[in-house]
Amino acid sequence: MSSRRRVAVVALGAVSALVLAACGGGSASSSSGSSAAANGISNPSDVTGGTIRMANSGDWDSLDPADTYYAYSWNFARLYGRSLVMFKSAPGADGATLVPDLAESLGVPTDNAKTWTYKLRTGVKFEDGTPVTSKDVKYAVERSLDKDTFPNGPTYFNDAFDLQGYTSPYKDTSPDKLGLKAIETPDDQTIVFHLKSPFSGFDYFAQLPATMPVPVAKDTGTKYKEHVVSTGPYMFKTNELGKSFTLVRNPNWDQATDPNRKPLPDGYDVALNVNADDIDNRLQSGDLDVAVEGTGVGPSAQGKILADASLKKNTDEATVARLWYANINSDVAPLDNVHCRMAVEYAADKTGYQRSYGGATGGEIASNLLPPVIPGSEKFDDYATPNNAGDVAKAKDQLAQCGQPGGFSTSISYRAERPKEKATAESLQQSLAKAGINLTIKPYPSGDYFKLYAGKPDFAKANGLGIMITGWGADWPDGYGFLAQIVDSRVIRAAGNTNLGVKDPEVDAMIDKALQTTDTAAREKIWVDIDKKVMTDAYILPGIWAKGLLYRPPNLTNAFISDGFQMYDYLALGTTRK
């Protein structure tokens, strides 16, 4: 395999760089919530009926499975669509395991994991009673490749296949619109994916909503989101864009074809663009069942809930696969010297970082990259300091080795609209100053932070951005889903990067090795080694592993947090409110 090809594989999803940084709020939480649902199932029940009421403080990016890129949306999409593979509907770590959904089994790799074959279950139907075939899955994946029409979705498939010029089924001249050579459908129940390069984790791609079948005859392009044709236990009854939508039971969904779902409520009412504080109030008053974004209650509600035992018992603390951190930019002197970067690691007061995110309620102090919720991750601390408050003596020792015994000056950037990042910058400014590292704080607009400022290497270098505050969450809880976009140097482009400066050929080689390792335990070990290598070279100052304080009203049954989505599993919920 040529190095170019390897780069292409590693770059899978590279252009999704901004997404994860924007995909959630990493809300504050408490270490003192009841966490009944986090550790197991809260209010277990098999009672059916009722309607679950959800609200979203913003708009949905899209209900179209080809055009959505939020964890809550992928979680919710399983109610109305069936992808080839899915995260198991189970609490905790079990919820991060992949199980076959539309497929009979997980993918069967051949040709050194370059070819993946799935057999579809028989008897699965669309909401109109039409049988689902492998061609409907192929068509769904094909249309997801069209980023002009569906700009929001991930680009994993675009990068995984040798497209041979194929851009969209809407420009496909073949009569059945199934002209993509990289996917074969030898019969109605079989679908075969041919990748450009080996990829051991293709089942994670197969769980993307983009593999939820779409009937070509019902496809209306960007309008399809107004009525997605269901294959799941629920289908759309109403959909008022930007306002609300409702789901009702799908009469053509057959429990016999679906071992993963036990749909309890009769339907779902989802309100959009609802005031965030109002959502928290309504959850507490019982006027709402679920804050669908799953990032936790806001700061004002958090204070009230934690101070009231009767409310606190209804909370769950979700550990999120998200790291708030700062990149130490090796492009900017003297941070091109590893000892100067190590001085930053030692001088940083992590407790200040944590306070910026609401103290212990905001998350756990991070000592390395991989969040604990990611399978196989290990905690280690190469730069331990007393009480995580920084160690000026060690920092000065590193400064001396760096040739900067009197310290140095550089700039720190953050996203202007994020008060937590502002507080972090100010905290680091104070703690690093004790070691003689003087920081000039430079805020930049969130919307263009990656495209024009911190994520643009030329700009960062020219403006001396030695430290750049940012955050990152995984598309799915796995080393590749978390690390590839922030430590692989080959994903760095002219602008729009989320890898803000980790450039280490050894790390790149280790990523290649992980991608070809089909043994899960061995692969997870490599991701940990990559984490250690990046920390050894002090490219990243880890801040905190985010947590979210979720509130569930007492009427909500079967509530549990799965590691797959790090929020309530929406497939399992029920309600006692009829």
Q: Which residue has the tokens 């041919």?
A: 194
Among residues 69 and 472, whose Cβ is nearest to another protein?
69
SS3 267: strand
Of the candidates 349, 372, 370, 319, which has an alpha carbon nearest to the alpha carbon of residue 534? 370
First vs last Cα of the chain: how many Å apart? 59
Q: Phi and psi (nearest 5°) for 312? A: -60, -30
Q: Is 170 in the site for another protein (CB under 8 A)?
A: yes
Among residues 119 and 282, whose Cβ is nearest to another protein?
282
Of the candidates 265, 269, 266, 289, which has an alpha carbon nearest to the alpha carbon of residue 279? 289
User: CA-CA distance, 501 to 259, in Å (whole number)?
Assistant: 45
Candidates 220, 238, 255, 430; binder of another protein (CB under 8 A) is 220
Rounded to 10 degrees, what is the CA torsion of 228, 178, 83, 148? Answer: -60
Site string for another protein, 238-257 (x = CB under 8 A): --xxxxx-------------
Listed in order, strand segments (DSSP E) in 205-347 are: 234-240, 244-249, 267-271, 290-291, 315-328
CB of 223 to another protein, least distance (A): 5
CB of 7 to another protein, least distance (A): 15
In order, the DSSP letters of 521-556 are HHHHHHHHHHHHHHHHTT-EEEEEEEEEEEE--TTE
Among residues 91 and 443, whose Cβ is nearest to another protein?
443
Q: Is 22 in the site for another protein (CB under 8 A)?
A: yes
Lookup: tokens for 447:
């919307």
Among residues 440 and 446, whose Cβ is nearest to another protein?
446
Site for another protein in 458-497 (CB under 8 A): 493-496
Lookup: tokens for 407:
């310290």
Question: The dihedral of CA 452, 454, 460, 463: what is its sign?
Answer: positive
Candidates 15, 36, 38, 573; binder of another protein (CB under 8 A) is 15
CB of 216 to another protein, least distance (A): 9
What's the angle, vertex CA 209, arms to CA 203 and CA 212, rounded to 5? 95
SS3 28: coil
Q: Is 282 in the site for another protein (CB under 8 A)?
A: yes
Among 125-133, 213-221, 390-398, 420-428, the segment contacting another protein (CB under 8 A): 213-221
Candidates 45, 152, 252, 518; binder of another protein (CB under 8 A) is 152
Q: Is 151 in the site for another protein (CB under 8 A)?
A: yes
Among residues 494 and 521, whose Cβ is nearest to another protein?
494
Among 120-128, 149-157, 352-360, 431-439, the segment contacting another protein (CB under 8 A): 149-157
Among residues 105 and 273, whose Cβ is nearest to another protein?
273
CB of 152 to another protein, least distance (A): 4
User: CA-CA distance, 232 to 499, in Å (whole number)?
Assistant: 37
Candidates 10, 19, 326, 484; binder of another protein (CB under 8 A) is 19
Among residues 493 and 533, whose Cβ is nearest to another protein?
493
Among 133-141, 147-155, 188-196, 356-364, the segment contacting another protein (CB under 8 A): 147-155
Candidates 98, 271, 290, 538; binder of another protein (CB under 8 A) is 271
Of the candidates 151, 23, 10, 11, which has an alpha carbon nearest to the alpha carbon of residue 472? 23
Assign 3-class secondary structure to 437-505.
EEEEEEEECHHHHHHHHCCCHHHHHHCCEEEEEEEEECCCCCHHHHHHHHHCHHHCCCCCCCCCCCCCH
Among 144-152, 310-318, 377-385, 546-554, the segment contacting another protein (CB under 8 A): 144-152
Site for another protein in 437-456 (CB under 8 A): 447, 451-452
CB of 271 to another protein, least distance (A): 6
* Residues 56, 74 contacting (CB under 8 angstroms): no
Candidates 48, 105, 222, 438; binder of another protein (CB under 8 A) is 222
User: CA-CA distance, 495 to 526, in Å (whole number)?
Assistant: 28
Q: Is 310 in the site for another protein (CB under 8 A)?
A: no
Candidates 127, 219, 316, 349; binder of another protein (CB under 8 A) is 219
* Residues 154, 6 contacting (CB under 8 angstroms): no
Lookup: tokens for 206:
């197969």
DSSP 132: P
Q: How many residues bind another protein (CB under 8 A)?
A: 53
Among residues 281 and 516, whose Cβ is nearest to another protein?
281
What's the angle, vertex CA 71, arms to CA 294 and CA 243, rounded to 5? 70
Candidates 173, 285, 310, 387; binder of another protein (CB under 8 A) is 285
Among 27-35, 220-228, 379-387, 391-399, the segment contacting another protein (CB under 8 A): 220-228
Of the candidates 454, 444, 441, which has an alpha carbon nearest to the alpha carbon of residue 416? 444
Among residues 218 and 533, whose Cβ is nearest to another protein?
218
Among residues 416 and 452, whose Cβ is nearest to another protein?
452
User: CA-CA distance, 550 to 560, in Å (whole number)?
Assistant: 11
Among residues 94 and 277, whose Cβ is nearest to another protein?
277
Q: Is 93 in the site for another protein (CB under 8 A)?
A: no
Q: By CB under 8 A, name the binding residues for another protein.
A: 13, 15-19, 22, 55, 58-59, 69, 143, 146-155, 168, 170, 219-223, 225, 240-244, 271, 273-275, 277-278, 281-282, 284-285, 287, 447, 451-452, 493-496
